[in-house]
Structure 1
Amino acid sequence: MELDAPPRLAAHLRAVHDVAAELVAWCGERHPSLAVDAEAVLFGAATHDIGKALHPAELSGPGAEHEEAGYALLRERGVEERLARFARTHASWDGAGVDDLLVSLADKVWKAKRVPGLEQRVVDAIAAASGQEKWQVFIDLDDVCDRLAAGADERLAFQSAYPITGMESTL
């Protein structure tokens, strides 16, 4: 799909996608009994903030208008619900499934932001699916989040190299 998306948005979506890919791989290796829809998680990570193309002020400031706008934009372009939903679920974890939680986690940890409430929900989902003790899942998740957070400076520099506005981009 073609949008006049800010280059920084495209860089952000790429960074979050790359972290989500690492989380999906980690789940497959460490928690193979966890039912993760890798295609959905990767699509969700790559499009979760697409509504910021319509609300570019939210690229550098707070706001949630991009969530419903992004969902509507994807649906209007024929993206099925199971994939478009991430545009509106990435910031709200109530009742979220593991796929939604992984997109949300990728959206935080890419920049080394650790959110205990979100991480606890991921731990709970993995422990419930795997039968592992929560403390063991917590240690595993903490390790992968620490590893991913260690690359945050490089990802932040990559994103910052792109302007918020001023250039046309195909996304």
Structure 2
Amino acid sequence: MRGCVPGLPDLPPEAVTLLVEVGAPARLGAHLRVVYAVACELTAWLAAAHPALVFDRAAVVFGAATHDVGKVLHPRELSVPGSLHEPAGERLLVQRGVPPRLARFAGTHGSWHDSRAGVEDHLVSLADKIWKGKRVEDLERLLVERIADVSGIAVWEAFVSLDDRLQELAAGADDRLAFQNAFPV
């Protein structure tokens, strides 16, 4: 069952090293891997479909690969909702030498209205939702409005474009959930 998501990319080596060093449980690694995979697909599509939207793709995929690292310090949040892992994860990453511009995703992925949050943060947050098929209207609206603004297209056109892609990504949610849940907490 652990290999039930065909083509799921491995996490970047620097993320794997970090997770091993902090003793991340297997379930956390699996979760980060599926969110990373969705972020890779989402950012590749976005760069091709809406090239006027400038964003740091490498930052987004790194953020997706490490966004929940604070759960090693708050392991209860591996199985119940909570946000203590967010600032803890950001601090942990900075303490481990990750530049603050990359560590911030651990702190902003659950609060896309954070004053620090830009398009990269919104993309990490979106990948962290859509991997399991969850749609969050206000988060998606932020990205739709940004796409429309920089692309010079109507908001409805940006919405249809993003909505179509998110539906496609959400379609793989059951397989990604099964993959993640095959690993122990």
Q: Report the TM-score when normalising by structure 2.
A: 0.87
Q: 1:103 aligns with which of 107, 112, 124?
A: 124
Shift of 1:53: 1.0
Structure 2: distance between partners of 1:138 and 1:76: 39
The amino acid across from 1:66 in the alignment is: H
Cα drift, residue 129 of structure 1: 1.7
**Gapped regions of structure 1 (runs ≥ 5):** 165-171
Instruction: Kindly report which structure 2 residues correspond to 1:14-53, keeping only aligned pairs within 5 A, or say none.
Output: 14-53=33-72
Letter in 1 for 2:106: A
1:76 equivalenced with 2:95 (yes/no) = yes
Aligned to 2:110, the other structure's residue is in SS state coil
Provide the residue aligned with 1:57 in structure 2.
76
CA deviation vs aligned residue, 1:51-77 (integer Å, no higher than 9, x gap): 001111101101111001100000001
Match in the other structure for 1:123: 144
Matched letter for residue 111 of structure 1: K
Provide, for residues 94-113 of structure 1, a one-character-per-residue CA deviation record: whole Å limited to 9, x for no partner. 14211000000000000000
Distance 2:150 2:100 in 1: 24
**Which moved further from structure 2: 95-104 or 36-45?**
95-104
Matched position secondary structure for 1:85: helix
Residue 91 of structure 1 aligns to which amino acid in structure 2?
G
Identity of aligned residues (%): 60
Higher relative contact order (CA 8 A, sep 6+): 1
Q: Which residue identity lines up with residue 149 of structure 1 in the other structure? A: A
Query: Which contiguous aligned blocks of 4+ residues in structure 1 show a shift greater than 6 angstroms?
Result: none
Structure 1 residue identity aligned to 2:101: R
Distance 2:104 2:80 in 1: 23
Cα shift readout 1:37-57 (whole Å, capped 9, x = no counterpart): 011000000000000011111
Stretches of structure 2 that go unaligned for 5 or more consecutive residues are: 1-17
Q: Alignment partner of 2:52: what SS? A: coil
- 1:144 corresponding residue in structure 2: 165
Distance in 2 between the 1:127 and 1:81 partners? 29
* Partner residue of 1:155 out of 169, 176, 184: 176
Q: Hey, what's the Cα distance between the residues in 1 that align with 2:91 and 2:142?
A: 27
Rounded Cα–Cα distance in structure 2 between residues aligned with 1:71 and 1:104: 15
Q: CA separation in 2, counterparts of 1:144 and 1:35?
A: 18
Partner of 1:68: helix, strand, or coil? helix
Equivalent position of 1:169 in the other structure:
none
